[in-house]
Chain A
């Protein structure tokens, strides 16, 4: 049961990162890529009908984490108190600025909204990457399973680190660049004209950066947490995950070169999937490692809810998620194809 719920929650988080990832990426690119008002509208219209639904994966995933692993939810959310609150503020600003843009037609205010929207998107990407870094590095858990992390201490991933140290900052950069690339690929599918050309010219440089940062982050992870390779050695078949990372990066390059943006975008989604799956597998069956001694780790069995709760949960979850996937497929099929710039209002 624990194994199932671990992967169900993981799948929801991956879905969130892949889906909200591209609209965060479009948000980051919004800072500099579109040059005219029409282009800015086209870029925003490419995510307009779907960003809200993408964000639902965060809520649904958070809720599932809450009832399946209450101790993890309680400990991590209170321990990461300050960065989570900042994430909430960024999500608020991002949602509001995107919506306001449909109702305001004064150029000065539009520039302000675009700026806030883009910066909020960029900081969110960085925070998400840093969050993953924190989970991989571990936190100073107390015997009762709780902790509280300051935003930074001495920028080193020791026994008493902060949210930000050199390692988690690398995680933040990986996320920033990878999601920017993800967004650029989305734009090449959804927009046309000059904007599409500029987006597609960005892809190779971004891809190169992603590859470099991926290698750096991999080495850094092994340095900070040597045990993260144990599962891979124990089950060598799982080396398919790093191979998948390599293959999907190659796929992005190949499909982009041959002008198949949809396939390139799917490869980028696979890249995010393999990176996250690798991270999950690297810590499994620990959910939140302790820097204060492995006996304080929050493990799967320690955090798992009672059997009744999980049985009740599984029944409605499978039914509900099937429905949800239908809605998602339905919406994306309704809005497939290029954004019609003339119809944008």
Chain B
């Protein structure tokens, strides 16, 4: 195993595990605002209690997000030192901004929201929820800005010593790639939040416990789920895909498994890319659709991988292809599921349609898979570049950190994160099985004594 591979795996593993948490944080933050808003406007204690229940799960999830997030900022330096030296002047900025503009805000209001309900007014408590939502979405924005610069560098110049520096604050922040990716990504986070909330609601309805809360959760989850699953495809996914096709044509060709340039290119639904023969094995293709999706006409020519020298092909081509297909396939399923669920809700039959409740329940892991696959598509599509067109991945890792030292800490993270995953599951399972009912006071005094 080469040092380069170890450092790539190191970042990939820790960032993939990390992002399981923030996607729920960001989605749930908005949904908690919805619950708190209804509670504030109607004065309903039930909706308030529903918000408190999700705040507990949010709190657990948030902490796991924080502790798995800290290593990432360090890993730029520890595992990718040459990249950091060259690009720090640019991407160090949004990373620092995340801390300064988002984390301070989030941590301040989270403390208030979770610990301070008795100390502040109802309106102030609602306001804290809004600020947490804002903080978490600002945080996502700065991370996307960072990634967008690596995908599509803007507003930079290179100094004689090889380092990049940023020329314009606003151009860096308003990188078109970043804006499209942000909309797509945040919609993805909202899908995770919606599916999780709907699944917990479906669980309570199927189980016959906490049915009143079950109805609130499925209702909110299905409505936001329906909106977000449509938005993820159109317009956000559509626009983002077209932008990738224009600026990273080799990436889109690899994602679609298009080895040869073609007018009226078809879309591959299923099939295995074969890099040796340069074709898709066992393909299931719908003619002309790819040309239409990218250019809006069925006749347009789509550039295939044959137009690019081999050393510019994404390095993990089959993985990229599968990641993209898993994301797109799941996205299609999400829309179908949520539209049917929303229809049942509208007709007043959702709470009694056990088959649909079952589908909602068992579907909750899928948005996690889709979000992960989406990020793999973005990052594998960028290869072989670390900064697209400017720096190759093989030039960026820490040359002073040997493969052995890198593997040592990678294994350490794997062990630690396995433990974290187990703990998280147990904790959330406990909260869900306890349910949203307020805690009985007898238990607590028994412990305190």
Contact = CB atoms under 8 A, between A and B. Distances in A.
Interface string B89-117: 11111011111110111011011101110
B149 interface: no
Contact of A146 (B86, B172, B399): B399
A194 interface: no
Interface string A80-122: 0110110011011101101110111100000000000000000
A265 to B, nearest CB: 19
A92 B68 contact: yes
A131 interface: no
B350 to A, nearest CB: 31
A41 B159 CA distance: 54
Given A66-B96, A96-B420, A328 B108 contact: yes
B90 A309 contact: yes
B104 A105 contact: no
Contacts of B443: 105
Interface in B50-90: 56, 59-60, 63-64, 66-68, 70-71, 73-74, 76-79, 81-82, 84-90
B444 interface: yes
Contacts of B398: 74, 78, 81
Interface string A57-92: 011111110111111011111110110110011011
B76 A89 contact: no
B447 A105 contact: yes
B111 A70 contact: no
A287 to B, nearest CB: 14
Interface residues of B, number: 79
A305 interface: yes
Given A66-B95, A74-B81, A53 B107 contact: yes
A331 B111 contact: yes
A78 B166 contact: no
A57 B100 CA distance: 8
A263 B408 CA distance: 46
Given A53-B108, A76-B77, A78-B401, A312 B68 contact: no
A55 to B, nearest CB: 7
A324 interface: yes
B423 A312 contact: no
B100 A324 contact: yes
B140 to A, nearest CB: 15
Given A63-B95, A146-B81, A323-B104, A306 B116 contact: no
B169 A49 contact: no
Contact of A77 (B74, B108, B112): B74
Contacts of B1: none
Contacts of A76: 77
Contacts of B444: 345
A178 B82 CA distance: 36
B108 A67 contact: no
A67 B92 contact: yes
B93 A309 contact: yes
B70 A331 contact: no
Interface stretch (A27-35, A182-190, A314-322): A314-322
Interface string B392-436: 000000111110010011001100100010010001001100000
Contacts of B114: 49
Contacts of A56: 99, 103-104, 107
Contacts of A166: none
B157 interface: yes
Given A53-B103, A61-B99, A104-B427, 7 more contacts: A63-B73, A74-B81, A78-B77, A91-B67, A309-B89, A324-B100, A335-B111
Q: Which 7 A-B pairs have the closest CB atoms?
A: A77-B77, A67-B92, A70-B88, A63-B96, A60-B99, A49-B111, A306-B165
Interface of B: 56, 59-60, 63-64, 66-68, 70-71, 73-74, 76-79, 81-82, 84-93, 95-101, 103-105, 107-108, 110-112, 114-116, 118-120, 157, 159, 163, 165-169, 172, 398-402, 405, 408-409, 412-413, 416, 420, 423, 427, 430-431, 439, 443-444, 447-448
